[in-house]
Structure 1
Amino acid sequence: MSDRTHRSRALAAGALGGIVLLTGAGCAWDGLNSLPLPGAQGNGDGAYEITIEMPNVTTITRNSPVRVNDVNVGSITAMRVEDYTAIVTVSLNEDVRLPANAHAKIGQTSLLGSQHLELFPPPDGDEQGTLSAGDVIPLERAGVYPTTEQTLSALSVVLTDGGLAQFETIAKEFNTALDGRELDTREVINQLETTVSGLDDQRADIIAAMEGLDRLARQIDEQNDTLARALAQMPEAVSLVNGQKQQLTTALVSLGDFGNKANQIIDAGGGQDLVDNLRDITPVLEGLANAGRDMTRVMSSLITFPFPQAGIDNFLRGDYANLYIHADATMPRLAESLLLGTEFGNRMAGVEGYLGLAPNPLASADPFSLDIPRPDPQADPYAAPDLAAGGDPAAPGPDDPAAPGPGGGGPDAATEEAPR
């Protein structure tokens, strides 16, 4: 068999094998991207898959890289559509560690580079759990970075229909307005900076004032009915004040006269003396002020003695009340209560309290039995008694009827004249 025959058979066998392969693959053939590429990240041992719900996949395809901090850590293994939402399945290397609430966005490697899928922790820093196989990143945590086409389209809108051509006119008019007024403009800017700085320093007070205004507004809103009634009664009050205008004027004039008189009194009496008197009376007034509450309570108790007013309100349940008092006025009880510590209390507590006070030994003495010395009849009755000689200034004179002796009316004389 010739070499040409062997070559023909090999070509036929290869063609047959290709036909069989294509027939076995059937409609699953979507090009080379439908097959796993050798050497792609996320295909090694220990790799795990997660699912991402994307609002838009733009031009990204299968086998596109998956990055974390600009490092390839996996690849896209499948994409499908469910209810107008793109479901992207990615395979990550075993050593990739991300929080369970990670975010995903489709970005572009460079201005004209390829697209990739970027995974990153939550921007607010609130990381929760660990991303593991089978987890799903929902639609609210997925998105797309602006593409080059979107950026150029937005720039074209600004350059054509965005009014960029008017910047030259604005700059020219601004320069014309500031020409020759640079110093004034600088001063205005400095004052504006001072004002803004002051407002920034008072920011807390301004916020507190606004909160206070808010509370006041709420209170006014709650008192709308009361304010309405007050405004309705305001004309009557104004009319009443207008009718009392003469009396109010007279009161104010009298108050002014009183002030003038007070000034005259202060000037005539010396201002320093008045100040000293007021300073001296200050402690007294302070004491009265401190005792004011207690004084009012005592006064209220004096009116209803011996029961306080608070007790009477609870005790008296009608128009009348009966009071029964059992008073023990015996000597021992008085000595232990009202007369305790006094001379009467000590005396009434002993035998004298039961038997009475002992009589005074001199209370019933006979004045005629007293041994009183007789005065000299030749002596001057009006002369002062000789105390040195033992005279008694209280002794009766010679003509005293009570004096003893012949000339007096003493007991001897009564005895001698009795027989006559």
Structure 2
Amino acid sequence: MLVASALVLTGCGSGGFDGVYNMPLPGGADLGDRPYQVKVQFKDVLDLVPQAGVKVNDVPVGRVDRIDLGADGWTAEVTVLVNGDVRLPGNSVARLRQSALLGEKYVELARPAEGRAEGALADGSVIPVERTNRNPEVEEVFGALSMLLNGGGIAQLQDISRELNAALEGNEPQIRSLLDNLNTLVGDLDAHKGEITRALDGLNRLGGTLNAQREQITGVLDGLEPGLKVLSEQRTQLVTLLQSLDTLSDVAVDTVNKSKDDIVADLKALAPTLRKLAEAGTNLPNGFELLLTYPFPDSAVDAIKGDYTNLYADLDLNLGTVVENLGRSRQSPLPSLPGLPGIDGNAPSLPLPLPNLPLPGVTGDSGLGDLLGGLLGGGR
């Protein structure tokens, strides 16, 4: 009997039997005729063993072929065999799960939770460690619960509850009012969420603009440093200046208070003058236009060319016309003469009429008439 058993074992060994790990688990997945191989990288495979199951949506589709150490020396590389009829996207994810609380570990393959599927898993595909994960172990859950119950804040919950009740007792109306105000505030914020969103978008654009002009802003701030240094050096003088301004302000206020009545009286006295100026209207500005060009109109400025002026004048020197104009204006051509001694009364008005007497010894045209006519008769 022992010999027969040894022969059976020897026959199995010659066929490639390496141990119990080569024996498929009962009830495992059917790999079919053409299974494909996928490598899955995990940070930690826990107690996963070869021949463990591979599932998709809790349906067995393959098994773990072997578990090796990754090329980086820090990760575990699990080689799984998947039924060739199972189609999965190339960016599938892998998770290490447990069939029950104390059940066996298995590898779950699933489509990506976010984003769209890309490509397809094929023989030789690799699922990197970034797309793998594992569920927490029962030991880890109980350990965390123990830390929470023993070393956590559970013991302080009674104190927190007692202090909270003491704080709220007797303040129920205020608490209700606070909650109502908080509800109103939240409602107002919700009603203005469009404006708040636009304000945040504006701040975002402002931040982008400031970031784009960061070099210019840095240059401006660096340029302010010398000025700030000068202000710091002259701090004493600036403080003295401000104190002097404070003293000047006190003096100015005191002066205004003391001369207030006089200032009001002066302003009231100026009121008639200002009123008349207002009544003058445009006459005053028009009069100022002739001030610089008197006795000529302001259009005479156009005749000034540099340092000379073009002038065309017509002068009427006719003595009779001059005397006639003076008589018409009722003004004497001679200045007022002082009174003569011994003569009372008013002197006769000037000019006196001249007698029309012929000159002795002058007959005919002696030529003087033309001369006098030229001098007294007028000309141009």
> TM-score, structure 1 length as denominator?
0.49
Are 1:80 and 2:68 matched, yes or no? yes
Q: 1:163 & 1:213 partners in 2: Cα distance?
A: 45
Structure with the larger RCO, 1 or 2 (CA within 8 Å, 6+ apart) = 2
Are 1:204 and 2:197 matched, yes or no? yes
Q: Which residue of 2 aligns with 1:154?
A: 144
Are 1:195 and 2:185 matched, yes or no? yes
Deviations 1:368-394 (A, max 9, x none): xxxxxxxxxxxxxxxxxxxxxxxxxxx
Letter in 2 for 1:75: R
Contact residue 42 and residue 75 of structure 1 kept, 8 A: no
Give percent identity, aligned residues only: 33
- Structure 2, gaps ≥5 residues long: 257-262, 280-380
After superposition, the Cα gap between the structure-2 partners of 1:127 and 1:22, relative to the gap in structure 1 and judged at 3 Å, is closer
Contact residue 42 and residue 91 of structure 1 kept, 8 A: no
Within 5 Å, which residues of 2 pair with 1:9-408? Answer: 11=1, 13-21=3-11, 24=14, 28-29=18-19, 31=20, 33-37=21-25, 40-82=28-70, 83-199=73-189, 201=193, 202-208=195-201, 210-211=203-204, 214=207, 218=214, 220-228=217-225, 231=228, 232=230
Q: 1:24 & 1:216 partners in 2: Cα distance?
A: 77
1:48: how far off? 1.4
1:140: how far off? 1.8
Q: Secondary structure at the match of 1:190?
A: helix
Q: 1:157 & 1:21 partners in 2: Cα distance?
A: 55
Contact residue 68 and residue 120 of structure 1 kept, 8 A: yes
Q: 1:182 & 1:104 partners in 2: Cα distance?
A: 53
Q: 1:133 & 1:141 partners in 2: Cα distance?
A: 18
Q: 1:106 & 1:146 partners in 2: Cα distance?
A: 10
> TM-score, structure 2 length as denominator?
0.53
Letter in 2 for 1:150: E
- Structure 1, gaps ≥5 residues long: 1-10, 270-420
After superposition, the Cα gap between the structure-2 partners of 1:96 and 1:222, relative to the gap in structure 1 and judged at 3 Å, is farther
Q: Which residue of 1 aligns with 2:291?
A: none
Q: 1:96 & 1:124 partners in 2: Cα distance?
A: 21
Aligned length: 245
Deviations 1:3-40 (A, max 9, x none): xxxxxxxx2552341352476479921x2x33234652
Q: 2:225 & 2:183 partners in 1: Cα distance?
A: 45
Deviations 1:233-258 (A, max 9, x none): 7979996996x998xx99xx9xxx8x
Contact residue 98 and residue 130 of structure 1 kept, 8 A: yes
